[in-house]
Amino acid sequence: MDVTKEQMRHMYRTMVRIRKFESNAQNDFANGKIPGFLHLYLGEEAIATGVCENLNKDDFITSTHRGHGHIIAKGGDMKYMMAELYGKSTGYCKGKGGSMHIADRDLGILGANGIVGAGQDIAVGAGLSCKYRKTQQVCACFFGDGSTNQGTFHEALNMASIWKLPVIFVCENNHFGISMSQSRHQAIKDIADRAAAYGIPGVAVDGNDAMAVYEAANEAIARARKGQGPTLIECKTWRWRGHFEGDPAIYKDPKEQEEWVAREPVKRFREFLEENGVMTADEMDKVDAEVDQEIKDAVQFAEESPLPKPEDVGKDVYTDFDEEVRVR
């Protein structure tokens, strides 16, 4: 495998960014600073990190309602993300999307998505575009275990497979579709098995191991760039929090939760980097401190940013005219 030490250091920084962004969002939500619905990626950081480390700036991703980690890993700016979570006019979506709808076309981020499974079909379109225009681009499509029971999953994997599109289907199996555990919502254990139905490779990896995810994605992306079509990667992980903030998650088994948290991805990656002489504990602590400062800056930016103007509500519905707004 061709991963460099520099890439591994970058992966560490990405994971820490996600962890600290999400921890901060958790607190800000609890303190009433972030309105709306908030779905946190805590515990799943290794997946977005391992996949996106393989992507170029002009590659595409589709994301989910639990999308902050994907956006950060693809290079999203935490200042604009935080401002969007705060509903400010400087946010990625000018305060029109919020947590579930962050997008950045310049970074190939085709949007977080509040509809479970909807990103799968959109990823097919992005893959079609890459193949049709004969670029070497690919699209990584993130989705959860729950969405593999949606019709979109079947339609998208089928279409991508017959057209051999450069799409990497990344299933983040965090073992819950909202409150329903995987063992209750589907009769299979390994979602990767479903790849067989489409005649494409399916691999299951430890989603809390950043290097395992990196390797699986590396291989799948290489195949995709060579025109060999899509791959389904199942990353087994665990959602630390409830489905959304405010969900007490009474449906979880505390023992299982404890076991998964013990296998937590950031700590494991730290140990890996130290054991392999990639980074020292001091170097990693320094990264942690730098990210703390980035988060503080992002929060300050969000807090100091102006709210949108009510008259802007009618803008951006269409590209070429504004909708009428209410005059009060």
Partner 1 sequence: MKTMSVMEAIREAMSIRMREDPNVLLFGEDVGKFGGCFGVSAGMFDEFGPERVRDTPISEGAIIGAATGSAATGLRPIAEIMMDDFITVAMDQLVNNAAFMHYMFGGKIELPMVVRTVNGAGVNAAAQHSKSMEAWLTHVPGLKVVYPSTPQDCLGLLLASIDDNNPVVFFEHKIAYGEKGEVSSFDPIPLGKGDIKKEGSDVTIIAYGYQVFRALKAAEQLEKEGISAEVLDPRTLYPLDKDLIAESVGKTHNVVITSEEFKRGSYAGEISAFVAEEMFDSLDAPCRRVCALNTPVPFSAVLENAFIPQTEDIVNAVKAQRE
Q: Is 123 in the site for partner 1 (CB under 8 A)?
A: yes
Closest CA to 299 of 89, 84, 95: 84
Q: Is 78 in the site for partner 1 (CB under 8 A)?
A: no
**Measured in whole angstroms, how far is the alpha carbon of residue 285 from the centre of its chain?**
24
Given candidates 1, 253, 282, 321, which one binds partner 1 under the rule CB under 8 A?
Answer: 321
Contacts with partner 1 by CB under 8 A: the residue count is 49
Torsion of CA 223, 120, 132, 201, to 10 degrees: 20
Tell me the CB-side half-sphere exposure of residue 209, using CA atoms within 13 A.
10
> Tokens for 168?
């990497």
The CA distance from 29 to 37, in Å, is 9
Task: Mark the segment that binds partner 1 (CB under 8 A) among 19-27, 86-94, 210-218, 293-301.
Answer: 86-94
Q: Is 185 in the site for partner 1 (CB under 8 A)?
A: no
Q: Is 147 in the site for partner 1 (CB under 8 A)?
A: no
Closest CA to 60 of 140, 169, 163, 158: 140
CB of 269 to partner 1, least distance (A): 31
Task: Mark the segment that binds partner 1 (CB under 8 A) among 16-24, 43-51, 120-128, 266-274.
Answer: 120-128
Q: Is 232 in the site for partner 1 (CB under 8 A)?
A: no
Given candidates 8, 48, 72, 124, which one binds partner 1 under the rule CB under 8 A?
Answer: 124
Q: Is 105 exposed, middle or buried (0-12, 13-18, 19+ CB in 10 A)?
A: exposed
Q: Is 113 in the site for partner 1 (CB under 8 A)?
A: yes
Binding site for partner 1 (CB under 8 A): 60, 62, 91-97, 101-105, 110-111, 113-115, 118, 120-130, 132-133, 139, 151-152, 155-156, 158-159, 162, 315-321, 323
